[in-house]
Amino acid sequence: MLFEDPVIASRFLTLLTLSFHIIYATIGVGVPLMIMIAQWIGIRKNDEHYILMARRWARGFVVTVAVGVVTGTVIGLQLSLLWPNFMELAGQIIALPLFMEVFAFFFEAIFLGIYLYTWDRFEDQRKHFFLLIPVALGAGMSAFFITVVNSFMNAPQGFDIINGQLVNANPIAAMLNPAMPTKVSHVLATAYMTVAFMLAAIAAYHLIKGSNHVYHKKALHLTMKVGLIFAIAAAIIGDFSGKFLAEYQPEKLAAAEWHFETEEGAPLLMYGVLDENNEVKGAIKIPFALSILAFSAPTAEVIGLNEFPVEETPPLIVHYYFDLMITIGVFMIVLSLVYWIGIKRGWAFVKATWYRWLIVLGGPLSFLAIEAGWWLAEVGRQPWILRGIMTVEEAATSSDYVGFMSILFILLYIILGIGTVVVLRRMFKNNPVEKELKASQGGDNA
């Protein structure tokens, strides 16, 4: 199949590249902010631990940035190679945010280079902090613009098609599409949340492994707090996203919720499985919750999947992605909230090893939630590449070799994935915090 049908092969390769890229992209968006916060606290409190934290995070960050940059370049060019018809149309109408994304990336790349190679250059820590602002800003802006492109694909506007010709193009209107506010804010909030929990997992792991250094405790407190704030933000924005879907992409919401019949006071389904007759088994039914999620009113009418032609309905598998994303999100909010209250109130169990293991687990789980969320968003708009306008079949390349190229890219991602893990492990194993603190006790940056 993969080698015969360019459409399936192109979908597979795009899925693969994006699923791999978003791990690094999420880190790329979130870590600069965390470095900036640590550097800021370090300056405010005059605490060398936080300054060191900023540096150690930055050092690991470089390796992930490298892979993020190259996989980002890959997906950038693959868009034209695998979806030439889509890009021809998109170039007419959505090239503006794509172009702006490159500028944001450019800006970030320049200042990241400067920041990384001037570590020991300035006596004044504030100069290092100022260099981080454009890095964090550039990272956030490039996530912003690329998500604008994606939201356009979900809610295209800003042009008319008359007799197959695109006319009345309005690039600004295309950018300000209805999907944009919720998409962009959800992407940013979840990236910051995920990175905070990833760094929390690292700190918790060190504490479990016996390093009882105050550095790790500070790192854990900081990251759990930041993680909690963004996790709550992500949940609130997630609710807005549900309302957006109900209005503009009802078929995606209906597929995610296995909501077949249009009804008032619709219930929300959690978990469960679907048998071959499309009967839902073993799901937890929360009455009225879907109507509340969709329209903030318990009796509101929610459109069911049966209202749509079969060839335009998304695959029903997206329900599992939805469950996975929501469950992890809620779990992380509870985990970090209990931790935070526990620290304030002096509850002993939040410092217990089993609790710390849960925090360690939270890092990979957050990444899983990111993946699940993107699969929900992307698979959920099948069969469209531009909802209501162009299907993926019309957009894919006519070239026959995508299947073979996919094999090469699989190999590439395996090599890059293993390489990242090996290099990062070696970097930090050989150079624990204790050693680095002792070395800096020579007094060059107190």
Applying the rule CB under 8 A, the residues between 52 and 111 that interact with another protein are 59, 62-63, 65-67, 69-74, 76-78, 80-85, 87-93, 95-96, 98-103, 105-107, 109-111
* Of 63 and 317, CB closest to another protein: 63
Residue 152: helix, strand or coil by DSSP?
helix
Check binding of 133 to another protein (CB under 8 A).
no
Tokens of 362: 């939270």
* Of 103 and 240, CB closest to another protein: 103
Residue 5: helix, strand or coil by DSSP?
coil
Check binding of 435 to another protein (CB under 8 A).
no
Q: Closest distance between another protein and the C-beta of residue 157, in Å? A: 14
Q: Closest distance between another protein and the C-beta of residue 183, in Å? A: 20
**Interatomic CA distance for residues 216 and 228, integer angstroms:** 18
- DSSP 8-state symbol, 349: G
Check binding of 113 to another protein (CB under 8 A).
yes
Range in contact with another protein (rule: CB under 8 A) among 112-120, 237-245, 346-354, 384-392: 112-120
* Of 103 and 349, CB closest to another protein: 103
Query: Alpha helix locations (H) across 83-124?
Result: 84-93, 95-117
Strands 160-162 and 390-391: unpaired
Check binding of 398 to another protein (CB under 8 A).
yes
Among positions 334, 414, 415, 446, the unique one binding another protein when judged by CB under 8 A: 415
Residue 301: helix, strand or coil by DSSP?
strand
* Of 87 and 361, CB closest to another protein: 87
Q: Closest distance between another protein and the C-beta of residue 191, in Å? A: 20
Burial class (CB in 10 A: 0-12, 13-18, 19+), 370: buried
Q: Closest distance between another protein and the C-beta of residue 246, in Å? A: 32
* Of 117 and 354, CB closest to another protein: 117
**Interatomic CA distance for residues 424 and 418, integer angstroms:** 10
User: What sign does the CA torsion over 68, 69, 74, 77 have?
Assistant: positive
* Of 65 and 224, CB closest to another protein: 65
Total residues binding another protein (CB under 8 A):
76
Query: What pairs with residue 390 in β-bridges?
Result: 386
Bond into 383 cis (ω within 30): yes
Range in contact with another protein (rule: CB under 8 A) among 170-178, 216-224, 237-245, 325-333: 170-178
* Of 62 and 352, CB closest to another protein: 62
Residue 268: helix, strand or coil by DSSP?
strand
Residue 302: helix, strand or coil by DSSP?
strand
Among positions 408, 414, 439, 446, the unique one binding another protein when judged by CB under 8 A: 408
Range in contact with another protein (rule: CB under 8 A) among 46-54, 231-239, 315-323, 417-425: 417-425
Q: Closest distance between another protein and the C-beta of residue 104, in Å? A: 9
Range in contact with another protein (rule: CB under 8 A) among 28-36, 305-313, 328-336, 394-402: 394-402
Residue 83: helix, strand or coil by DSSP?
coil
Residues 6+ apart with CB under 8 A from 144: 104, 184, 188
* Of 100 and 153, CB closest to another protein: 100
**Interatomic CA distance for residues 70 and 93, integer angstroms:** 26
Tokens of 155: 């809610």
Per-residue burial over 301-326, b if 16 or more Cβ lie within 10 Å, else e, is: ebbbbeeeeeeebbebebbbbbbbbb
Task: Map the footprint of another protein across residues 209-268, applying CB under 8 A.
Answer: none
Q: Closest distance between another protein and the C-beta of residue 49, in Å? A: 21
Range in contact with another protein (rule: CB under 8 A) among 192-200, 257-265, 346-354, 424-432: 424-432
**Interatomic CA distance for residues 307 and 208, integer angstroms:** 53
Check binding of 426 to another protein (CB under 8 A).
yes
Q: Closest distance between another protein and the C-beta of residue 201, in Å? A: 21
Query: What pairs with residue 269 in β-bridges?
Result: 285
Residue 383: helix, strand or coil by DSSP?
coil
Among positions 133, 169, 286, 352, the unique one binding another protein when judged by CB under 8 A: 169
Q: Closest distance between another protein and the C-beta of residue 164, in Å? A: 14
Distance of CA 379 to CAs 62, 120, 371, 389, Å? 32, 47, 12, 16
Check binding of 278 to another protein (CB under 8 A).
no
Could you give the string, one character per residue 368-387, with x where binding to another protein holds by CB under 8 A and - elsewhere?
--------------------
**Interatomic CA distance for residues 245 and 258, integer angstroms:** 14
